[in-house]
Amino acid sequence: MIKQLLKKNTELENLILEVNGKKVELEKVEYDYNKLGEKIENYLKSYPTLDLKKDSNENVNVILRQYKEHYERLDKESRDCYRKRDGIKPEYDKLLDKTDKAYKEAEIVFVPTFKKLAKSFIGLDLNIKSERDSKNIFLVLEMENTARTDPFQLSESQRFFLDIALRMSLSIYLSKKGNEATMLIDTPEGSLDIAYENRVGIMFAEYVTHYNQNIIMTANINASQLLISLAEKCGLKKMTFRRMLEWTDLTPIQKQGEHLFEKVYKNIELALKGNDK
């Protein structure tokens, strides 16, 4: 009797395992069925004229017809865009020619000014040329007769101060006597060595003294050759120097080194006065 019970118990356990296995298989089939149903539903939404009850060849024809209609619509939009482009192109070409002509007129003053200012900083012959392709007009920087069209072909400090030279040249060209330009500059002169700091000062002084323009600028208080060379070239008549330390609260470290600031101030003030002797 016990053996029969054990046998029946074993059979029952096996049956339970089989039922559980079938249950898992059923859940998987239901999941696949539902996913397939979603795909069919989405497909029918894309092709609402399809009828799964119809012949398969007829459904294929429906799909091909819809693709053809979609293609024809896009083709029409494309041809419309080309017609608009062709209609605008003559006016666009006129604007390019007008811009090109205006730049050539500006070259008489603008380019020589840029070359002069840029050379006073970088010490090399530079040039800016106007070039154009089928779509655009663009400026090309030449250094020693070699085109520099990519940013990496110039150092970061060179790009910064040549950009200032370019802006100075534009402001000189656009300004008029009695209505001179004013540039606002925050100088990162700490990135330059002392020789180039000196040349930046010369370039700034050229802008102020030769072209009679104006600069309002801030500079770090250090042994800056930029400020000293600018002061030497401009003098008290063309340059006003303000100590901005008076406008802020000094840190303990700055207070301890205040005599160093005074030393720099005196050097700049001596350079300013030296120009007017």
**Position 230, amino acid:** L
* Most confident listed range (29-33, 50-54, 209-213): 209-213
pLDDT of residue 209: 92
Instruction: Please report, rounded to a whole number, the percentage of residues in the chain having pLDDT higher than 90.
Output: 12
> Mean pLDDT for the chain?
77
Tell me which of 169 and 192 has the higher pLDDT: 169
What CA–CA distance (Å, rounded) separates 21 from 29? Answer: 12
Q: Tell me if 86 sits within 8 A of 67, measured CB to CB.
A: no
How far apart are the C-alpha atoms of 183 and 215, rounded to whole Å?
5
Q: What is the pTM of this model?
A: 0.58
Q: How is the chain split into domains, by residue range?
A: 53-105, 154-274
**Residue 226 CB coordination number (10 Å):** 25
Mean pLDDT lowest for which of 9-13, 47-51, 181-185?
Answer: 47-51
The confidence score (pLDDT) of residue 101 equals 80
Looking at residue 137, its pLDDT comes to: 66
pLDDT beyond 90 at 192: no
Tens digits of per-residue pLDDT, 202-238? 999 999 999 999 999 888 776 578 889 999 999 999 9
How far apart are the C-alpha atoms of 182 and 208, rounded to whole Å?
10
Residue 194 has a pLDDT of 79
Per-residue pLDDT reduced to its tens digit, 71-96: 778 878 888 887 887 887 788 778 77
Residue 251 CA to residue 244 CA, distance in Å, equals 14
pLDDT, tens digit, for every residue of 161-181? Answer: 888 998 999 899 888 888 999
Mean pLDDT across the stretch 247-259? 82
Position 2 scores a pLDDT of 56
Mean pLDDT of 54-75: 67
Instruction: Please state which of the ranges 21-30, 60-69, 205-214 shows the lowest mean pLDDT.
Output: 60-69
Identify which has the larger pLDDT, 48 or 162: 162
Cα angle 125-126-130, degrees, rounded to a multiple of 5 = 145
Separation CA 53–CA 5 (nearest Å): 56
Structure-token match 């003559």, residue found: 90
Pairing label, strands 137-143, 126-132: antiparallel
Task: Return the pLDDT at 210.
Answer: 92
Q: What is the 3-state secondary structure (H, E, C) of the chain?
A: CHHHHHHHHHHHHHHHHHHHHHHHHHHHHHHHHHHHHHHHHHHHHHCCCCCCCCCHHHHHHHHHHHHHHHHHHHHHHHHHHHHHHHHHHHHHHHHHHHHHHHHHHHHCCHHHHHHHHHHHHHCCCEEEEEEECCCCEEEEEEECCEEECCHHHCCHHHHHHHHHHHHHHHHHHHCECCECCEEEEECCHHHCCHHHHHHHHHHHHHHHHCCCCEEEEECCCCCCHHHHHHHHHHHHHHCCCCCHHHHCCCCHHHHHCHHHHHHHHHHHHHHHHHCCC
